[in-house]
Homo-oligomer: A and B are copies of this chain.
Amino acid sequence: MNSGADVAIETIHREMTSFARRARALAGRLHPELSLVSFALLGHLEEGSGCRATDLAEHYALDKSTVSRQVAVLEREGLVERRQDAEDQRVQVLQLTEEGRRMLARVSERRRAAFKERLDGWSQEDLVRFASYLERYNAGPSAGAASPED
């Protein structure tokens, strides 16, 4: 790899980190009602209907106790529901409630608005290309060293 690419990687590395930092810091401020993790968990539940706490823990590299507590909070707030699995009594299948769906949509909308503002003035071509780069990056070249279980 030549040095131009190295510099680019260094930059990508730094900027992505910076972004992560800001996203985390802002998540709590902009949406006090839904932490970044809760948001991610809800989002996960939205996609595939029904999943286990253990799945979430593994997917987000979180301890199962953490997920357990987060889910407990979300349940107490009426955003998710648990359903005992008929097959296996140990398992609790998690699902979004209607309220959870609404909340997710609301927060999602606000976040999207923030992004939109930040991306105002970009040409469509740049937006599309940027999006594709991010997708490509997150998809990972395969095993993805930067993301063991994802």
Chain A residues with a Cβ under 8 A of chain B: 1-2, 4-5, 7-26, 29, 36-37, 39-40, 43, 59-62, 108, 111-122, 124, 126-138, 140-142, 144-148, 150
The distance from the CB of A12 to the nearest CB of chain B, in whole angstroms, is: 5
As for how many copies of this chain the complex holds, the number is 2
Main secondary structure on chain A at its contact with chain B? helix
Note all chain B residues with C-beta closer than 8 A to A13.
108, 111-112, 115
Nearest neighbor of A61 in chain B, beta-carbon distance: B25
Q: Which residues of B have CB within 8 Å of A37?
A: 21
Q: Which residues of B contact A130 (CB under 8 A)?
A: 8, 12, 130, 133, 137
In the complex, chain B residues whose CB is within 8 Å of the CB of A24: 20, 24, 36
